[in-house]
Structure 1
Amino acid sequence: MIRLLVVVLLVALGAPAWAQSVSFPSVTVGASPAGPEVKGWIYKPPGNGPFPAIILAHSCAGTNRHTDGWGKLLVSWGYLVLAPDSFGPRGTRAVCTTPNVVTPNMRVADIAGALDYLATRSDVVKGKVGIIGHSHGGSTVIRSAQKKFGLAQRGLAAGVAYYPGCNPKFDGDIDIPVLLLAGDRDDWTPADRCRSLMSGLTRGVLVEAIYYPNAYHSFDSKAADRTVPGAAGKQHHLAYDTVAAPDAEARTKAFFAKYLR
């Protein structure tokens, strides 16, 4: 009964029910200043490892069931997963309607801290750490991949960005392999901005971009079609896509196997 109550409390707080709670410092890197101490959750496969690891960057909705589902999936593929909470320590639970409260640029400092923390663990393979993120987390992946932050030197080997908000002006100097997955019907983080980013990359060979013609935002989340508010009162359509979701998942699995195994 006590364990059940603990699980219920964790879920209510947005925490994964079957993961280990950890904390580590956020670290200044370039123009990304250190934030408060980061709390997060470790998902670990059976055994002692060492395992390749993946940092799981949550969406603008913060850590939730979507985060937990991906944590468990990545563990089933044999990865140790660290899911940092970039919002809670900064005093918010979500930024979908207030995107400038916590930005992807700010979250890079958390990713640097996560990499430093993973480097201290004996159950993680050194230099075999990837990152995956969705929406706001996908933008965090793209920003973390920029050469100016030097996260490759901290052990970041590859990243997967699901429907990120691409910023062609600031994100053109990617220096690790990235898989970018976007929906052409996405009215929140438009795929055309990612096409513009791709056309201006200094090392375009590092990035593979896949565009799903009928997919909306959040196409991998198995939920009913819905409309949700974004910034400035705009409404955005979210929908699971039965074609895009399994294809993106298969590509993600193969991509990480290529760069982290």
Structure 2
Amino acid sequence: MKKINFFIILVLMLYLPGCAKKKINPCLNENNIVETIYEIRSNSTICFKTIDSYDLDYTDSSELTIFGHLTYPEHQKNSYDAIILSHGSGGIRRYHKKYVDLLNKHGYVVFQIDHYTPRNIKYDKTFSKVSGVTFMNDSFRALKLLKTHPLIDKIGYIGWSQGGVGPILSHFKTVTSFINEKELIFDASIAIYPYCGFTFPDDTPRYTPLLMITGNSDELTPEKACRNLFSKFFRNENKIFHKSLSDAHHGFDNPFLYFGFTFEKMPSLNITNKKCTLTISESGKIITLTNKEVSTPEASEYFLDRCSTKGVTVKYNAPAAEKTQKLILEFLSKNFIN
């Protein structure tokens, strides 16, 4: 396993051909912003409004125009199910395209959100410039947008790493009640090697079926927190599921990490005491179980420093990547049955 400076690998990811091209924001022209996709029947980049908030307290939040890439299956149908994709802290990468192609091949419309380009973010080595809740706010606005399409029926939600926070939180009515008054919810959510360090009271109502896919060798977002969440809530209504993949590190589905890299200064979020477990307050703030707010980038950096140790290995695992694709298709098929 290679040990390498975090900055060096970020430079490689940004400048190696095919790893990350300079992205242009297509939404600078206000004429490109839409409120409905009623008549859009072909692959398109869609600009739409979101609420730009670190948490679920929208008191001082403003609107922001972001975009997503809408892609259709090759063969047209009279109706479609759709999947919203939410990237992690590294932004949209080449390996995400495999999921887009996989889902399109199996008949799904895909809407891949770019959370970063409209916010002038290339990557987030601090994991705190925006929050997983920020990504979730974007995804629920995308859900509302996709609901305007007359041919789209059920809608799922898939997120990776930091982008996996939203699928987890969308499982809980405590969260979704902040986001919309019309109770727009996803029909299925999947979180891939996510941060699972949230919890809620035992009797919290839950809506969306949730699948958490984790690697048992993940050091960045260790699966222990996901196991804890599953153990607490799996008995009620059989709506939460957890699949642990053996010998799988963080990023196990990214072939760029084929040889593996060890980052000695990257945080391993392996502390799960009350000071390091999060929930949502009655006002929508992200707080710890000891009632400390984590609703700003500065507070998040402090939280990450206090609730982690240093040293993380990330590595591709082909069997885990293949298994993940199968789990996704099986879970969606099961939960999208009319």
TM-score, L = length of structure 1: 0.84
Runs of 4+, deviation exceeding 6 Å = none
Equivalent-residue separation in structure 2 for 1:220 and 1:161 (angstroms): 13
Q: Does 1:226 align with 2:260?
A: yes
Q: Which moved more, 1:234-243 or 1:251-260?
A: 234-243
Aligned to 2:215: 183
Equivalent-residue separation in structure 1 for 2:329 and 2:105 (angstroms): 11
Aligned partner letter, 1:191 = E
Larger-Rg structure: 2
Q: Does 1:166 align with 2:199?
A: no
Aligned to 2:50: 26
- When residues 227 and 220 of structure 1 are mapped into structure 2, their CA distance, relative to the original with a 3 A threshold, is same
Matches within 5 A, 1:138-177: 138-148=164-174, 149-150=176-177, 153-169=183-199, 173=204, 174-177=206-209
Q: Which of 19, 44, 58 does residue 72 from structure 2 map onto?
A: 44
Aligned to 1:113: 141
Equivalent-residue separation in structure 2 for 1:183 and 1:159 (angstroms): 18
Equivalent-residue separation in structure 1 for 2:238 and 2:210 (angstroms): 10
Equivalent-residue separation in structure 2 for 1:118 and 1:32 (angstroms): 24
- When residues 171 and 52 of structure 1 are mapped into structure 2, their CA distance, relative to the original with a 3 A threshold, is farther
Aligned partner letter, 2:243 = I
Equivalent-residue separation in structure 1 for 2:233 and 2:23 (angstroms): 36
Aligned partner letter, 1:159 = S
Aligned partner letter, 2:197 = N
- When residues 79 and 188 of structure 1 are mapped into structure 2, their CA distance, relative to the original with a 3 A threshold, is same
How far did 1:98 drift? 1.6
Equivalent-residue separation in structure 1 for 2:66 and 2:251 (angstroms): 25
Q: Does 1:84 align with 2:147?
A: no
User: Identity of paired residues, percent?
Assistant: 25
Q: Which of 87, 91, 95 does residue 58 from structure 1 map onto?
A: 87
Aligned to 1:217: 250
- Answer whether contact 1:43 1:72 (CA < 8 A) is retained: no
How far did 1:175 drift? 2.5
Instruction: Provide, for residues 184-209 of structure 1, a one-character-per-residue CA deviation record: whole Å limited to 9, x for no partner.
Output: 11000101111111222284721110
Aligned to 2:325: 249
Equivalent-residue separation in structure 2 for 1:25 and 1:144 (angstroms): 20
Aligned to 1:3: none
SS at match of 2:191: strand
How far did 1:242 drift? 3.1
How far did 1:27 drift? 4.3
- When residues 155 and 166 of structure 1 are mapped into structure 2, their CA distance, relative to the original with a 3 A threshold, is closer
Q: Which of 22, 43, 47 does residue 13 from structure 1 map onto?
A: 22
Instruction: Provide, for residues 46-96 of structure 1, a one-character-per-residue CA deviation record: whole Å limited to 9, x for no partner.
Output: 32542100001111111121222211111111100001111222221222x
SS at match of 1:133: strand
Q: How many residues align?
A: 248
Equivalent-residue separation in structure 1 for 2:57 and 2:101 (angstroms): 30
Aligned to 1:4: none
